[in-house]
Structure 1
Amino acid sequence: MDNELEKRTLRRITWRIVPFIVLLYFIAYIDRVNIGFAALTMKHDLGFSASALGFGAGIFFWGYFMFEVPSNIVLHKVGARLWIARVMVTWGIISAAMAFVQGTTSFYIVRFLLGAAEAGFFPGIILYLSYWFPARHRAGVTALFMAAAPLSTAIGSPISAALLQMHGLAGLAGWQWMFILEAVPALVLGVVVFFFMTDKPEQAKWLKDDERTWLVDTMRAEAATKAGHAAHGLLSGLANPRVLALSLIYFGTSAGLYTLGIWAPQIIKQLGVSSMTVGLLNAIPPLLSVVAMIVWSRHSDRTGERAWHVVIACLAAAVGLVVATGATSIVGLIAALALVNIGISCAKPPLWSMPTTFLSGTAAATGIATINSIGNLGGFVGPAMIGWIKDKTGSFEGGLYFVAGLLVLSATLTLVLARTRKPASTANGAVAH
């Protein structure tokens, strides 16, 4: 009976929560990386060098870094419903403002403000999932949520390319229309969040009484089990050595992810295809990675193993980047980018299953935000270094090798963390063997 109740409850909360947060992250990721497609024409209109484009695209993550931890602490205090709604409306307004930048200074300022506005969204959702799903189910659910990133690239790429064709309508460039129209869903969904999202299981009137009771009791029992060894305080989340290690691991995966998001369209464009063809080709690798991510994370949940699932995925992505440097055909390049996409996407769900097993309460809020904010600085370093090296050498090759090296470092640090973990960190099968 309990097993049937568990299945029924998890099925109900999954269908209620996961499709909605996937949609939110889908929109967030499009607004974060659509600069990669805008740059196909924007850099010419505004006279941007590769270095300026890479720096401006990456400075987003400095705003993210500075405001991430405070934002997640506020979310933990006031609830996800109110705070996620605020985040989405703010970033929608600023994302639309990207249409009106005039040069490098305004470009840098608006990108920084966009990062500050969006700070707290991703770690807030990760924290939110820890309120609703027992640890043994969390990697699979996290994978479904994070599938929105590759899906947004797959679906958003041809859409962004199509919007570039609106060039000249009402006196605006195609890239300006792209920023304006792709910001609208964030504004609309920000309002929907306020009325649709439920902060905690205790408040879930859409659950049946026995389902709500089971879920509340299960999450309280998990918290009680964790209470003996989990860190709870603010400083525990900020200064925990495992948090810092996971931040560095995430740094490499973020460098890889945003290298793809910002530069993949221009790497493909080098083969002499049209912008619309770039959009269609750029959609193929992330579609493949969605399937791989879900299968990989479910295997991680089933086995209770995390570290090797991160290590193998990071190394696969690194190999893909190295192969991409020598690709001279469309088929070869897309195959290499597919391997990068699959590796990076598969690394993230098992990685994000780790922190909530040794942190709880305020420490979980600050720890998750710390991992995301420090780790996402890789989203600045990767794209910025590729742009700088491209200007210096005329090629993407050196930059891709650099990012591949960061992913190898992530794999190495994951193994070190797994070997030095505390015994208690294996609770609920969350930190790898």
Structure 2
Amino acid sequence: MTSLTGSTDSHSPASPSQTPKATPLSSAVAKIMRRVIPLFAIMMMCNQLNRSNIGYAESHLEADLGIGATAYGLGAGLFFIAYFIFEVPSNLLMKRFGPKIWLSRICVSWGIVSACMLFAQGPTSFYVLRFLLGMAEAGFVPAVLYYLATWLPNAYRGRANARYAVGALVAFSLSGPLSGPLLGMDGTLGLRGWQWMFLVEGAMSVAIGVFAFFRLDSRIEDASWLTADEKRELTAAIDAEDAAYLNRHGDDRPTFWSVLRDPKILLFVFVYFSVQMSIYANTFWLPSIVRDIKGTNDVTVGLLSSVPWVFAMVAMFLLARIGDRTGRRKPLLIGALVAAAVGSYLAAVASPWLALVMLTVAAMGFKSISPIFWPIVQRTVHPMVIGVAIAVINSIANLGGFVAPYGFGVVKQQTGSTQWGLIGLAVFSLIAALASFLIRENEDENPGLSRKKESAKAAPQVPAPQLRN
């Protein structure tokens, strides 16, 4: 069996060239990767499915409820206004109630609201339900990132982020093949096809949320599936990283307002804002772009719309692995943003079939960024405010999910095409790539949030053991 770092297991006598015996720390990490991360990936799949499935119902909502392109874009974007408003409060409540309860609650809540989309009667009820969905989902991503930061040493977080984030790509890949047949149930038991889609996909989230409550633990010491030695070494490794960080940069706790004012945080917000614009413009409008290909229907649109996300899944795992192994994530971040810019621009000026190919290139860029981006943030933000910092970055940046879908709706309403919307995405991605040169990836050079530069000797780093499957 091959480890994620490329080494192989062997039952022959040990030799200098062979992989050393697994330590309690590497064993604990492997258990987390097997038990917790797949659950987060499934929850992320449901999360993205419930927020983005309206893309497949757009034409049906217009025909049945009179929701035009501008109204659709506004409704898609209102989700992110609510997400922005309630993200930080949700994250603070997560710390009070613990990830086990809060993550389960979030998943059940968004499933219920998503299922209630079947009761939409027109633009107003559509707006209200999208806003409520954003309120229900607020805090999910920061809670998962906070969980990973408190359960895993930094050397493993890129791979963990990639494995959990793959849930979004699976959702985008499967949403078409799943939503198409559900839309085809039009008239069954008196419900329209789009009503069946919202009901079934919402019920899936409720079931996963209930399961998560019995599967997750809030703290390492609560995990009965870890041995005492594994708990001790895992906790010691994470504490050693935090202690080394504080030894270098001081133990002054940054305030919430200092997080908002810190130039590094603002830079991270802008970069991730541009990423979110690309992600959600494509999430909500890709099916519409694919419909420009002659001869497509609900099923073929769903299948073709999944192609960019399948290729993006491969690119994301590859870049996450390279980032973890080399520790040099900044060049990968810049390269991914450039790929997103080039792909989006060429998609705007190409024929429908070639546009799909170029959007695949763009998706391989912008969807690969999360497992590269967040470990950079986690290495440079003060550990005592990492949860709040993640929530601030994620909530403000997610407003890109309002700007891009709404902007695309206005552009399409006025011009009948999404061409200028794609060009706008290309410009934002290129600017974000240039801005990323300002990121100082070497954590020893980062004074960070309200931190004093220390002349004290940095604490020794904890070596990262091999992760084995």
The answer to whether TM tops 0.5 is yes
Match of 1:63 among 82, 87, 91: 82
**Which protein shows a greater Rg?**
2
Matched, 1:209 2:228: yes
Alignment-mate amino acid for residue 348 of structure 1: S
2:188 aligns with 169
Cα offset for 1:362? 5.3
Matches for 1:151-230 after TM superposition, within 5 Å: 151-228=170-247, 229=249
Correspondences of 1:263-278 after superposition (within 5 Å): 263-272=285-294, 273-278=296-301
Identify the residue that residue 354 of structure 1 maps to in structure 2. 376
Match of 1:322 in 2: 345
Query: Cα deviations across residues 160-195 of structure 1 (Å, max 9, x unaligned)?
Result: 111000111122111111001100011112212221
Per-residue deviation, 1:333? 2.6
Moved more, 239-248 or 415-424: 415-424
Per-residue Cα deviation, 1:389-423 (whole angstroms, up to 9, x for no partner): 11111111001111111111221221123389871
Selected match of 2:91 from 72, 95, 98:
72
Question: Residue type matched to 1:300 in 2?
Answer: G
Tell whether 2:387 aligns with 1:368. no
Amino acid at match of 1:365: G
Compared with structure 1, are the counterparts of its residues 113 and 18 closer, same or farther at alpha carbon in structure 2 (3 Å cutoff)? same
- Are residues 1:44 and 2:60 paired? no
The reply to whether residue 8 of structure 1 matches residue 30 of structure 2 is: no
Pick from 169, 173, 181: which aligns with 1:150?
A: 169
Distance across 1 between alignment mates of 2:224 and 2:256: 31
Aligned-partner Cα distance in 1 for 2:34–2:200: 28
> Is there any run of 5+ residues in structure 1 with no aligned partner, and where?
none
Alignment of structure 1 residues 234-253 onto 2, 5 Å: 234-253=256-275
Query: Is it true that 1:258 corresponds to 2:280 in the alignment?
Result: yes
Partners of 2:441 and 2:141 lie apart in 1 by 28
Q: Which amino acid aligns with 1:104?
A: P
1:377 corresponds to: 399
Check whether the contact 2:77–2:406 (CA below 8 A) recurs between aligned residues.
yes
**Which stretch has the larger CA shift, 413-422 or 72-81?**
413-422
Counterpart pick for 2:326 among 293, 303, 314:
303
The letter for the 2-side match of 1:187 is: V
Residue 54 of structure 1: aligned partner:
73
Give the structure with the larger helix fraction: 1
CA distance in 2, matches of 1:50, 1:173: 20
For residue 423 of structure 1, what is the aligned residue in structure 2? Answer: 445
Shift of residue 235 of structure 1?
Answer: 3.2
- Tell me by how many angstroms 1:329 deviates: 4.3
Cα 1:73–1:360 shift into 2, 3 Å: farther
Distance 1:380 1:6, change over 3 A: same
AA aligned to 1:58 is: G
Query: 1:341 maps to what in 2?
Result: 363
1:282 matched to 2:301? no
Give the whole-Å Cα distance in 1 for the aligned partners of 2:435 and 2:92.
Answer: 27
Indicate the percent of aligned positions where both proteins have the same amino acid: 36
Task: Determine if contact 2:292/2:352 at 8 Å carries over to the other structure.
Answer: no
**Over aligned residue pairs, what C-alpha RMSD do you find?**
2.0
**Equivalents in 1 of 2:404, 2:352: separation in Å?**
24
Query: Cα 1:348–1:201, aligned 2, differ >3 Å: closer, same or farther?
Result: same
3-state SS of paired residue (1:167): coil
Identify the range of structure 1 (220-229 vs 108-117) with the bigger mean alpha-carbon deviation: 220-229
Aligned mates of 1:213, 1:82 — CA distance in 2: 24
Distance 1:145 1:16 in 2: 12
- Amino acid across the alignment from 1:263: W
Counterpart residue type for residue 133 of structure 2: L
Tell me if structure 1 keeps the 8 A contact 2:347–2:359: yes
Residue number in structure 2 paired with 1:17: 36
CA positional deviation for 1:69: 0.6
Using the TM superposition, give the Cα deviation of residue 133 of structure 1 relative to its aligned residue in structure 2, in angstroms: 1.1
Tell whether the 8 Å contact from 1:318 to 1:407 is kept in structure 2 after alignment: yes
Work out the CA distance in 1 between the residues paired with 2:286 and 2:444: 40
Aligned partner of residue 395 in structure 1, secondary structure: coil
Once the two structures are TM-superposed, the CA of residue 154 in structure 1 deviates from its matched residue by 0.5
By how many angstroms is 1:125 displaced?
0.3
C-alpha distance in structure 2 between counterparts of 1:264 and 1:283, whole Å: 9
Tell me if structure 1 keeps the 8 A contact 2:376–2:441.
Answer: no
Q: Which amino acid aligns with 1:157?
A: G
What is the CA distance between 1:323 and its match in structure 2? 1.4
Distance (whole Å) between structure 2 residues aligned to residue 70 and residue 241 of structure 1: 23
Distance 1:425 1:350, change over 3 A: farther
